[in-house]
Amino acid sequence: MADPPTVTLGAPGQVVADPTDEPPGLPFDRFYAGHVDRVHRALALALGDPALAREATDEAMVRAYARWDRVSRLDNPPGWVFRVGLNWATSWWRKVRRERPPLADERHPAVAAPDPAALAARTALDRLPTGQRTVIVCRVLLDLSTAETATVLDLSEGTVKSRLSRGLAELRAALAEKE
Amino acid sequence: MDVVPEPLTELVHRAAATTPAYPADLAGVRRRWRARRRRRRALLAGGLVALVALTGGAVPLLHGRAGIPADGPPAVAGVSSPAPAPDRVAQRLVISEAEWFVPDGSDRPKVGMAAVPAAEVRPDGSVVPYRVPEGFHLGAALPDGRLVGLVHRGGDRPRSPGANTEKAAIELVLVEPGGRERRWRLQARERVGIVGADDRTVYLVRPTGVVARDLSTGVETVVLDSSVVGPNLIDSDVRVTGGRIAVRSEATRTTCLIDVYDLAGRGRRGRVETGLGCQFVLSPDGTSLAAVHRASADTREQRLGIWDVATGRQLADVPVGTVTGDRATTGLVYGLAWDDDRTVRAVWAQLPPGADRVYQVPEVMRIVSASAQ
């Protein structure tokens, strides 16, 4: 057990609320229809593993459904779901991933997109350190502000800014190298 | 830089579009939730049965080793249990892991491994569960049998980005023999992890570095500044034992480098190079380091090794098991601890061939030992 068990803010709790009486406001099915694909793509990019991202999305959506009376009242439910999925994926796969580093071909997109620029960007993103990649995903794909990203990822705003800055610089350099 | 330039924004969106579309299945979400609710209720019922079965409080709940099925009732999350009695090992081998399942495409996976909230694996192979609070993240086992861990208070309340976090807290929890708890509230807005403990001190990793926190007074003292080993100390693997601190300083595709520092002199005392994916722990006197690792990048076999910290020389090497990407066949290291300054034990568990249900870890675990030569 070499990993320090870092506890992070915003981690999913264990209490399961009864969602049978959904509160007034955005119904879960509308939230699901409107956000599940975006959260899934964000997790796929952050985790670098589409299959794991799908499992994480499934898990996070079930947890959101179980707590929908409270999640629906949050300012940014997609951010919460993303964080829950990220936590779930990293906690389960932490050991396996440490013991089995991903092979180069496992980190490439699962589908061959007919968009060379997109594939180049995907490859460049995959090569970024996880922390930088996750910040970029939050800021760009989930459209979170610096403050929101800091809260979702349990980082200081300064760390978010520096990771974003370094990540974008490396991304730009990698893409320039490709060209 | 706080603004993402438009061309890069567009490229990130296009990169995201290379991921296959998510196969939305709202009915599946609802089915999974109902299945989970049924499973929790079944677990709760099992816990009550186990409570009734626990009469004297001094008999280990489970026995199992080397793949021999357990005789007792299944371990149940949150069940009240006898506290482990002190024994002669230098480091208590305590395991703690969440449940996991083998995906089968259904909403109710039937094969997997049950959760272990916290349990000690004794030298005789018996497994003694601890009673720990809900949401307890095990940090370290103290020599006297107490456990120290972290609990995120308010974690059951989803909070929004930007929401007031004043009411949220991370608590340091000391679980004493018999299940009594002591709690201290830690600063909520800062990441923190537990990297070691002895009878009087718990060692925490914070953004500032590794700090020693007196369990009596709560006074914290920085014992290793982050600047000594780099700014990402909190994201590294760190263990404190025997007046020394081991830090994984670098992990490449072929090796894992672990630096060992002296807490008193704060100087580096040695460097150990292991194979990939190292999970390590220092010996009680801090002179040796044990790690489970992959011996070669070409194999998925895990090995348990012991190294001399001063010279980096390997002193022991025994096979443990094989890691794969398939949950049905992969194994996991559940724990690693030294019995004394020469002998180390690792707990390895994986589902048996033809697994057809949810297994308790003691049913399928294997204990691997190595001794320094």
pLDDT band at B193 (very low <50, low <70, confident <90, very high): confident
Q: Rounded distance, CA B181 to CA B204, Å? A: 19
Q: Which residues on adjacent β-strands are paired with residue B148?
A: B140, B174
**B180 has pLDDT over 80:** yes
Using CB atoms, pick whichever of A5, A99, A110 lies closest to residue B149: A5
Contact criterion met (CB < 8 Å) for B156 and A154: no
Residue B370 has a pLDDT of 96
* Residue A66 with chain B: CB contacts under 8 Å: 33, 36
Residue B278 has a pLDDT of 84
Which of A10-24, B133-147, B187-201 is most confident?
B133-147
The nearest CA of chain B is from the CA of A137 a distance in Å of 8
Decide which of B357 and B107 is more confident: B357
Decide which of B346 and B103 is more confident: B346
Average pLDDT of the segment spanning A114-130: 82
A42 lies within 8 A of chain B by CB: yes
**B282 has pLDDT over 90:** yes
Please identify which residue in the block is written with the tokens 């439910």: A77
* Per-residue exposure over A142-155, b if at least 16 CB sit within 10 Å of its own CB, e if not: bebbbebbbbbbbb
- Which of the residue ranges A119-123, B279-283, B323-327 would you say has the lowest mean pLDDT? B323-327
Residue B265 has a pLDDT of 66
**A173 has pLDDT over 80:** yes
A35 lies within 8 A of chain B by CB: no
**B347 has pLDDT over 90:** yes
**B155 has pLDDT over 80:** no
**A74 has pLDDT over 70:** yes
Per-residue pLDDT tens digits for B8-17: 888 898 888 8
Residue A42 has a pLDDT of 93
Per-residue pLDDT tens digits for B113-139: 998 889 999 988 889 888 898 888 888
φ/ψ (deg, to 5) at B228: -70, -40
pLDDT band at B267 (very low <50, low <70, confident <90, very high): confident
Average pLDDT of the segment spanning A154-177: 87
Report in angstroms the alpha-carbon separations of A9 from A72, A80, A159: 19, 11, 16
By C-alpha distance, the chain B residue nearest A134 is B12
In sequence order, what E strands does B136-219 have?
137-141, 147-153, 169-175, 181-186, 193-197, 201-206, 209-214
Per-residue pLDDT tens digits for B209-223: 889 999 988 899 988
**A2 has pLDDT over 90:** no
Provide the chain A residues 61-80 that lie in CB contact (below 8 A) with chain B: 61-62, 65-67, 70-71, 74-76, 79-80
In this structure, which amino acid lies at residue B244? R
